[in-house]
């Protein structure tokens, strides 16, 4: 859909949104009295951040560049380099003066080209690190209850006569817009984070310096269709007010080229050919009739057509295979998700010329792939990519709390997604900038975008949660937002759906507006009514469910096909808390807060959630003490937390993987809630703020191995999951049971097991209900070998003869109570083992190193080492080197066994090799050199 095009004209001041009272219970929690803070539309703002290539600290270091003027030549587009910003409470001069060239900005703050107000203030050092302790409470929210000025300069080369436009989106929440002292649009028109605007400023620009200024209004996601945070983190005091996408100055000739895109139609299932349809809109901004030549290429096809346009006429030009045979592509290079094939892209390049002179151009990469998501007989949505069924194994993505965008930091997390064996990310609102989806295209990571819950976006259908019903202005903003996002995302092959509802589904009026915008944008992939399973009047059933849990449940919970168990498509679910590593905890909390963490389970935790439901770790800490024994100190607490998180996250993904091939009520998708957090958090994360990896991370990595042997908590059987494109045959599966002291109590092997490609085989191996002499707490070692005896996979479980007992009758929306815990306290009797450790580091290419670590159990005791953790730290041994990707980690070894692990990471200091730190459940802590 085209952006809104406004000619310069007088506009009425004012803001369209009425005051909306705070609402009541929300889907993920029942929370009252706390305004949901707004966050950004995932179009992340950057306050010019350049996340330091995380190096040894792995901590994003954001800074704002100088707001230097940019120069825009003919037939070009340039994003403003940054802004100077200041509160209107401190600026008393008239808007005409503030927005005119030469206005003094002494005492103003620098902001990046995409920056919230608070992001700029943090970069300027106005406030202390809001991710540490309770520093965020020190930031006065009152500073953000008035509008703020955003001001930037640019110059235009006057090579020839043409048109100049200001093209932007990402204003949160709304803004009056000025150019060279004149208001060109108002906050009534420029409203909503996702709406896109194109303002013709040709008649206002002048030789030399020009000025654009935005008077940005305060944001409230319960009143405005913008972005907000619910229970993910403590919401930022500015509610993400600012400009969080690029503001672009475009220079063209008399005819502009807009909305260029390719609609692909892939032959499925043969993949033998694809038909491409190219569309582009031409607009004649000149006073006379013109005949133009529109030409270019779409993949292998050459395109050309002459078009005559009357003054002011706008026309969509369509190239189809019928008139351009080259648009019928035999044997196309098909785009696949990671693990299923490659990720090739094609290019669309178009130019429009008037009298032989280029007037405007367009470039768009695109992929050829097909996405279908029919609802199966059990009412669950089953995705098919290029005709092949796919179990969606994903996680929820969070941007930075202050919507700062850094491409290196984003790419590091996407590499982690690949390392985890996940294939999908869900973005609930907080829709990231274009670069994010470019990265997803390149890495083959599927994305499910959609609107967020529990604020103004769901006010019309759930006003008790998010405010009052919409007015006409809200409906217009919502439809314009859908049009802009559809046009932005449609060419990305990684985007496989849009969720037009989250916890609630839109009503008929809202849905019709969305669908109209999607049709106009040639949206081809499935539109999902809601993430919660609620249907809509037009689209119908959702095929998804949002049954939780969101807080602690035992590992066996995931195997039961009710509530959040492994059946159908669960759009957001996990066992809640995810305690970071001790390294991260010491960076984010004070010594007193660290004591409270393990000593006072009922104490509110600022770094968990603003929600009363999730404000403490009471459920989690009770389970930790009940299953593993009461912690003795902080180190013991964190050590037990890593075991608990590893076993729980592993069970969640293993249950969904195994059940994907069930003949009744199969699992079709699961979104772990969440991949990461936008700040220093104690819950809902596989990756922490500093890119450190705890037990949850390696539990997920283990579960999602391409060829994997696993245990079923429900039926005690051993299954093999093959996520590869080729079958595996002649496999041997073995299970051995041990007491914690290493005494072997049971051993059995089955041979000649075959597993189909993308298949699951449940073997005849079943762990016996009783084994003579087996301790109450015991270890189960599963191994998978090939016909030569080579070990292909190993998976170690710590189990109990006493099961966790769930009380399903008392299930709440966020968890099911556990009335009796499995007894895993026997693990505390395992002796400490001093492993033999050798390590070496070498630079493999510029900026990248590889560290190889070999661990050997010396056999000084017959007890194994359980969940051994290997970390790379700085040369002085004090700081983890992050990000890092290990071939394996959190491993278990029996006497005489050895394993070699390989890690890839950045070369931080070529002159000082890092050190290797080994710890874990019962591996004696040691740090050794790696060079």
Asked which of 503-512, 669-678, 909-918 is least confident by mean pLDDT, the reply is 909-918
The alpha carbon of residue 864 and the mean position of all alpha carbons in its chain are separated, in whole angstroms, by: 37
Q: pLDDT class for 647, splitting at 50, 70, 90?
A: very high
Express the helix, strand and coil content of the chain in percent, nearest 5 each.
Answer: 15, 35, 50
- The rounded distance, in Å, linking the Cα atoms of 307 and 321 is 19
Query: Which candidate, 429, 394, 588, 405, places its Cα nearest to that of 36?
Result: 429
pLDDT of residue 464: 65
The alpha carbon of residue 234 and the mean position of all alpha carbons in its chain are separated, in whole angstroms, by: 18
Flag whether pLDDT at 2 surpasses 50.
no
Do 669 and 564 meet the contact criterion of CB atoms below 8 Å apart?
A: no
Burial 270-283 (b: 16+ CB within 10 A, else e): ebeebbbbbbbbbb
pLDDT of residue 877: 86
pLDDT digits (tens, 9 = 90+) for 309-323: 999 999 999 999 999
- For 730-759, give the DSSP string: EEEEEEEEE-TTS-EEEEEEEEEEEE-TTE
- The rounded distance, in Å, linking the Cα atoms of 505 and 529 is 6
pLDDT of residue 73: 65
Flag whether pLDDT at 27 surpasses 80.
no
pLDDT of residue 74: 59
- The rounded distance, in Å, linking the Cα atoms of 179 and 99 is 6
- For 399-446, give the DSSP string: --TT----HHHHHHHHHHHHHTT--EEEEES-PPPHHHHHHHHHHT-E
- The rounded distance, in Å, linking the Cα atoms of 617 and 640 is 14
Q: Identify any residues that bridge with 393 across adjacent strands, giving them in sequence order.
A: 670
pLDDT digits (tens, 9 = 90+) for 147-192: 999 999 999 876 556 899 999 999 999 999 999 999 999 999 999 9
- The rounded distance, in Å, linking the Cα atoms of 605 and 613 is 11
Cis peptide before 54 (omega within 30 of 0): no
Asked which of 56-60, 281-285, 520-524, 704-708 is least confident by mean pLDDT, the reply is 56-60
Calculate mean pLDDT across residues 801-823.
97
pLDDT digits (tens, 9 = 90+) for 30-47: 322 222 223 322 322 332
For residue 354, give the H/E element and its range.
Answer: strand 346-354
Tokens found for residue 813: 């929306």
C-alpha distances out from residue 103 to 89, 106, 150, 202, 211, Å: 17, 9, 13, 22, 9
The alpha carbon of residue 649 and the mean position of all alpha carbons in its chain are separated, in whole angstroms, by: 18
Query: Which candidate, 23, 483, 89, 523, places its Cα nearest to that of 228?
Result: 23
Burial 296-328 (b: 16+ CB within 10 A, else e): bbbbebebeeebebeeeebeebebebeebeebb
Do 383 and 413 meet the contact criterion of CB atoms below 8 Å apart?
A: no
- The rounded distance, in Å, linking the Cα atoms of 633 and 597 is 10
- The rounded distance, in Å, linking the Cα atoms of 584 and 616 is 19
Do 686 and 394 meet the contact criterion of CB atoms below 8 Å apart?
A: no
Q: Identify any residues that bridge with 295 across adjacent strands, giving them in sequence order.
A: 304, 351
- The rounded distance, in Å, linking the Cα atoms of 18 and 220 is 11
- Which residues are catalytically annotated? 503, 572
pLDDT of residue 76: 81
For residue 485, give the H/E element and its range.
Answer: helix 472-489
Flag whether pLDDT at 766 surpasses 70.
yes
∠ CA 846-445-517, nearest 5°, is 130
Query: Which candidate, 534, 479, 486, places its Cα nearest to that of 510?
Result: 479
Flag whether pLDDT at 390 surpasses 80.
yes
Calculate mean pLDDT across residues 51-78.
54
- The rounded distance, in Å, linking the Cα atoms of 27 and 299 is 45
Tokens found for residue 854: 């070999």
Do 737 and 797 meet the contact criterion of CB atoms below 8 Å apart?
A: no
C-alpha distances out from residue 618 to 95, 308, 580, 597, 685, Å: 53, 71, 17, 10, 18
pLDDT of residue 36: 28
Which residue's entry shows tokens 């030399």?
208
Tokens found for residue 41: 């539309």
pLDDT digits (tens, 9 = 90+) for 593-606: 999 999 999 999 99
Which residue's entry shows tokens 């808390």?
577
What SS3 string covers 874-904? CCCCCCECCCEEECCCCEEECCCCEEEEEEE
The three-class DSSP label of residue 188 is coil
Q: Identify any residues that bridge with 276 across adjacent strands, giving them in sequence order.
A: 264
Percent of the chain with pLDDT over 90: 87
DSSP type of residue 365 = E
- The rounded distance, in Å, linking the Cα atoms of 441 and 203 is 40
The three-class DSSP label of residue 602 is coil
Flag whether pLDDT at 637 surpasses 90.
yes
- The rounded distance, in Å, linking the Cα atoms of 857 and 896 is 5
Do 696 and 685 meet the contact criterion of CB atoms below 8 Å apart?
A: yes
């Amino acid at each position: 859909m085209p952006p809104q095009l406004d000619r310069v004209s007088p506009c009425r001041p004012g803001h369209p949104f009425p005051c909306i009272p705070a609402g009541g219970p929300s889907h993920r929690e029942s929370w009252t009295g706390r305004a949901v803070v707004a966050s950004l539309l995932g179009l992340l703002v950057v306050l010019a951040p350049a996340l330091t290539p995380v190096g040894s600290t792995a901590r994003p270091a954001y800074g704002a560049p100088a707001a230097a003027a940019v120069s825009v030549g003919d037939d070009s587009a340039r994003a403003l380099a940054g802004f100077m910003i200041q509160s209107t409470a401190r600026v008393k001069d008239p808007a005409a003066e503030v927005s005119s060239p030469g206005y003094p900005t002494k005492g103003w703050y620098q902001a990046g080209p995409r920056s919230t107000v608070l992001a700029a203030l943090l970069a300027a050092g106005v406030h202390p690190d809001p991710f540490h302790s309770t520093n965020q409470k020190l930031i006065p929210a009152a500073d953000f209850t008035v509008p703020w000025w955003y001001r930037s300069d640019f110059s235009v080369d006057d090579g020839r006569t043409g048109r100049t436009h200001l093209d932007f989106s990402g204003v949160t929440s709304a803004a009056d817009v000025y150019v060279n002292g004149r208001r060109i649009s108002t906050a009534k028109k420029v409203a909503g984070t996702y709406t896109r605007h194109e303002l013709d400023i040709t008649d206002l620009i002048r030789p030399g310096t020009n000025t654009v200024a935005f008077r940005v209004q305060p944001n409230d996601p319960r009143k405005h269709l913008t972005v907000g945070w619910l229970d993910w983190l403590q919401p930022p005091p500015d509610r993400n007010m600012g400009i969080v996408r690029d503001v672009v100055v475009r220079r063209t000739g008399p005819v502009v080229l807009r909305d260029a895109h390719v609609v692909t139609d892939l032959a499925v299932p043969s993949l033998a050919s694809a038909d491409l349809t190219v569309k582009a809109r031409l607009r004649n901004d000149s006073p006379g009739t013109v005949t133009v030549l529109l030409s270019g290429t779409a993949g292998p096809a050459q395109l050309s057509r002459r078009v005559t346009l009357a003054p002011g006429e706008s026309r969509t030009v369509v190239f189809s295979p019928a008139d351009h045979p080259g648009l019928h592509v035999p044997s196309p290079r098909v785009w696949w998700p990671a693990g299923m094939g490659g990720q090739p892209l094609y290019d669309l390049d178009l130019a429009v010329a008037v009298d032989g002179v280029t007037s405007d151009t367009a470039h768009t990469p695109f992929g050829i792939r097909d996405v279908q998501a029919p609802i199966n007989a059990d009412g669950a949505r089953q995705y098919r990519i290029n005709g092949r069924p796919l179990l969606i194994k994903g996680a929820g993505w969070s941007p930075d709390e202050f919507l700062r965008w850094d491409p290196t930091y984003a790419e590091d997390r996407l590499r982690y997604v690949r390392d985890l064996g996940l294939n999908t990310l869900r973005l609930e609102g907080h829709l990231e900038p274009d670069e994010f989806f470019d990265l997803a295209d390149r890495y083959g990571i599927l994305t499910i975008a959609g609107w967020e819950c529990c604020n103004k976006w769901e006010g019309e259908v759930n006003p008790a949660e998010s405010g009052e019903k919409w007015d006409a202005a809200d409906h217009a903003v919502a439809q314009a937002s859908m049009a802009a996002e559809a046009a932005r995302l449609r060419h990305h092959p990684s985007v496989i759906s849009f969720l037009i509802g989250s916890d609630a589904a839109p009503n008929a009026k809202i849905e019709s507006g969305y669908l109209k915008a999607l049709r106009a944008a040639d949206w081809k992939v499935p539109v999902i009514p809601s993430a919660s399973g609620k249907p809509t009047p037009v689209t119908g059933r959702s095929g998804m469910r949002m049954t939780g849990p969101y807080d602690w449940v035992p590992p066996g919970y995931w195997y039961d096909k009710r509530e959040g168990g492994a059946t159908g498509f669960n759009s957001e679910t996990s066992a809640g808390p995810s305690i970071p590593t001790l390294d991260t905890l010491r960076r984010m909390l004070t010594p007193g807060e660290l004591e409270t963490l393990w000593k006072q389970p009922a104490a509110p935790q600022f770094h968990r959630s603003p929600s009363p439901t999730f404000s403490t770790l009471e459920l989690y800490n009770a389970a930790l003490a009940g299953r593993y024994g009461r912690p003795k100190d902080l180190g013991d607490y964190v050590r037990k937390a890593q075991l608990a998180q590893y076993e729980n996250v592993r069970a969640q993904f293993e249950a969904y993987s195994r059940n994907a091939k069930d003949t009744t009520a199969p699992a079709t998708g699961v979104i772990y809630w969440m991949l990461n957090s936008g700040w220093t958090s104690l819950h809902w994360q596989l990756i922490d703020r500093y890119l450190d990896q705890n037990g949850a991370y390696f539990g997920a990595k283990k579960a999602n191995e391409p060829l994997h042997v696993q245990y079923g908590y429900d039926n005690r059987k051993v299954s093999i999951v093959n996520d590869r494109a080729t079958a595996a045959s002649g496999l041997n599966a073995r299970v051995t049971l041990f007491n914690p002291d290493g005494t072997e109590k049971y051993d059995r092997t089955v041979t000649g097991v075959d597993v189909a490609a993308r298949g699951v085989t449940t073997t005849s191996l079943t762990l016996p209900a009783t084994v003579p002499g087996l301790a109450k707490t015991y270890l189960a070692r599963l191994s998978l070998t090939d016909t030569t005896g080579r070990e292909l996979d190993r998976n170690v479980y710590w189990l109990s003869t006493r099961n966790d007992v769930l009380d399903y009758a008392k299930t709440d929306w966020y968890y099911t109570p556990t009335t009796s815990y499995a007894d895993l306290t026997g693990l505390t009797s395992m002796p400490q083992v001093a492993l033999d450790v050798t390590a070496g580091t070498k630079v493999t290419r510029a900026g990248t190193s590889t560290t190889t670590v070999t661990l050997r159990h010396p056999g000084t005791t017959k007890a194994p080492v359980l969940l051994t953790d290997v970390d790379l730290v700085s040369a002085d041994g004090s700081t983890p080197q992050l990000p890092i990707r290990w071939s394996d980690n959190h491993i278990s070894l029996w006497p005489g066994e050895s394993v070699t692990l390989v890690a890839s990471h950045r070369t931080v200091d070529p002159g000082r090799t890092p050190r290797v730190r080994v710890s874990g459940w019962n591996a004696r802590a040691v740090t050794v050199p790696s060079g």
